[in-house]
Amino acid sequence: MTMAEMDVDQVRAMLVPLWAKNRDHILERLAHVRIALLADTEPSDDQRSDLHALVGTLGTYGWPAGSALMADIHRHLTSSDTTADRDSLIRQLDELTTTLAEV
């Protein structure tokens, strides 16, 4: 069966065991991003890698708002021209982390 032949429920069912396997690693990456955001400095190479990975991964697992948040955080940390409020980004990141920890 090709991906085109699968319905949404089948795809979701396939993602459940992958989420279970990778959840803790994703939460760890979110913690690294939080550290960078609290420092409000240019992210380290590892933190930058975590941000990039989370942009794609969260969307894959059905959290497109999480992907967008990671992109906003990346822009905030790497650009002097940002409209994002750091405290708001931290609050959103904490809410996302809490939600994902419960899934």
- pLDDT on residue 28: 95
- pLDDT on residue 20: 83
Query: Residues 57-94: pLDDT tens digits?
Result: 998 888 899 999 999 998 888 887 666 688 999 999 99
CA atoms of 103 and 81, how far apart (whole Å): 35
Is residue 35 predicted with pLDDT exceeding 80?
Answer: yes
Is residue 2 predicted with pLDDT exceeding 80?
Answer: no
- pLDDT on residue 81: 61
Classify residue 29 as exposed, middle or buried by CB count within 10 Å of its CB (0-12, 13-18, 19+).
buried
Query: Which spans in 1-103 are helix H?
Result: 8-39, 45-60, 64-78, 86-102
Placement of tokens 């697992």 in the chain: 61
Give me 2's structure tokens: 């090709």
| pLDDT > 90 fraction of the chain, expressed in percent and rounded | 47
